[in-house]
Structure 1
Amino acid sequence: MQIILLERIEKLGGIGDVVTVKDGYARNYLLPNKKALRSNAANLKVFEANRAKIEADNAARRTDAEKLAETVNGVQVVLIRQASNAGQLYGSVSVRDIVEALHEAGHSSVSKAMVVLERPIKTLGVFDVRVNLHPEVAVTVSANVARSPDEAELQKQGINVIDQQFAEEAAEAEAAAEEFLETQAEATAEQDDAA
């Protein structure tokens, strides 16, 4: 189906472009959301008559999005979740969780449709998440997924808490082994002295 774009759509085109898309994509998404018009002579005339207004509205929305981008860009939200010792979450972090955390941080103008998460987050760590405030304005926020606020602070400093945990456990095991060997050596020495 041929359509006329009313706003910039990533990987399709800009305002006023006539493009061909699959029928379902046009009927179920682009047309109901007023992102496009069917391409025919009447709609072309309507679009050309309103082109200046459409472009002005788009520019105004882009300006508002750029102002919002200054406050949202680089924000780090902390999400406390339960996880195994290996760092696997019991569950996952979804778009809804990130949006709720952004709202708690005072960025209530960010909606679920704006957050782009390639796949759900299923491990501990700090992850970059893209937020599309406007088709032409995108920012990045950080999702810090940790088991406790203390771990979140360590991760914020760039420390991998799982590696640190394993290193501490290995150091404790090594110290216990050395203590055991010293105790055995002392016991052997006492037995030799007694004999």
Structure 2
Amino acid sequence: MKLIMTHEVTGLGAPGDVVEVRDGYGRNYLLPRGLAVKWTRGGQKQVDQIKRARQARDIRGLDEAKEIAEQLGGMNVRLTQRAGHGGRLFGSVTSSKVAEAVKEAGGPEIDKRRVEIRNPIKSVGEHQVTVRLHPEVSATVSLEVVGS
């Protein structure tokens, strides 16, 4: 099945990429979640529009991505969340909250879609979060979650 990616899926493609996937994966996962649309000849206009939007918000180059990765690598970000007894959070930490916390800590503005949280953060303490800045560059941010 040939699809046009509308959102980034790790290991598959970025918005605007035309990918070939198995029918079941496309029909049961990518299409219902809005991560991709079916490829058509007329879909090339969509591809061009998505790529223009992606270029506008992407970090311009590898050098800039490396600079930002250095900034993020040295940062300690503190995030305050409501927590119950034993340090368990009400809800979990989302990628948008991490992006806001980085900005508030004096770091660069990052897109929430670039933040990868491998395991859900549901407790107070130190956690590591990965930020994909460029296909070749990613940074690890130390996140300290504090209960309120």
Whether 1:121 aligns to 2:121 is yes
Q: Distance in 2 between matches of 1:89 and 1:4?
A: 38
2:37 to 18, 24, 27: 27
Cα offsets for 1:49-107 (capped at 9, x unmatched): xxxxxxxxx9x522211121111114221112232231111232211211111111222
Q: Distance in 1 between matches of 2:117 and 2:124?
A: 16
Normalized against structure 2, the TM-score is what? 0.63
Distance 2:11 2:131 in 1: 17
Counterpart residue number, 1:84:
84
Q: Specify the SS of the correspondent of 2:86.
A: coil
CA distance in 2, matches of 1:81, 1:123: 9
Matched residue, 2:75: 75
Partner of 2:42: none
The 5 A counterparts of 1:88-103 are: 88-103=88-103
| Deviations 1:90-132, CA, capped at 9 Å, x for gaps | 2322112111111112223311111112344211111100101
| Residue 2 of structure 1: how far off its partner (Å) | 4.4
1:61 is the counterpart of 2:78: no
Deviation at 1:4, TM superposition (A): 9.7
**Distance between the aligned counterparts of 2:76 and 2:130, measured in 1?**
12
Structure 2 spans left out of the alignment, 5+ residues: 39-45, 53-57
Output the CA distance in 1 between the equivalents of 2:90 and 2:66.
37
As a proportion of its length, which structure holds more strand?
2
Aligned residue pairs total: 122
Aligned partners of 2:84 and 2:3: how far apart in 1? 50
Using a 3 Å threshold, how does the CA distance of structure 1 residues 143 and 4 change in structure 2: closer, same or farther? same
Q: TM-score, normalised by structure 1?
A: 0.50
CA–CA distance in structure 2, aligned partners of residues 83 and 4 of structure 1: 41
Structure 2 counterpart of 1:20, one-letter code: E
Task: Give the structure with higher Rg (CA).
Answer: 1
Unaligned runs of 5+ in 1: 36-57, 149-195
Does structure 2 conserve the Cα–Cα contact (< 8 Å) formed by 1:74 and 1:140? no
The higher relative CO (CA closer than 8 Å, separation ≥ 6) is in: 2
Q: Cα deviations across residues 111-158 of structure 1 (Å, max 9, x unaligned)?
A: 11111123442111111001011122111001111236xxxxxxxxxx
Partner of 1:131: 131
Percent of pairs with identical residues: 38
The question of whether the paired residues in 1 share the 8 Å contact of 2:89 and 2:123 is answered with: yes
1:118 aligns to what SS in structure 2?
coil
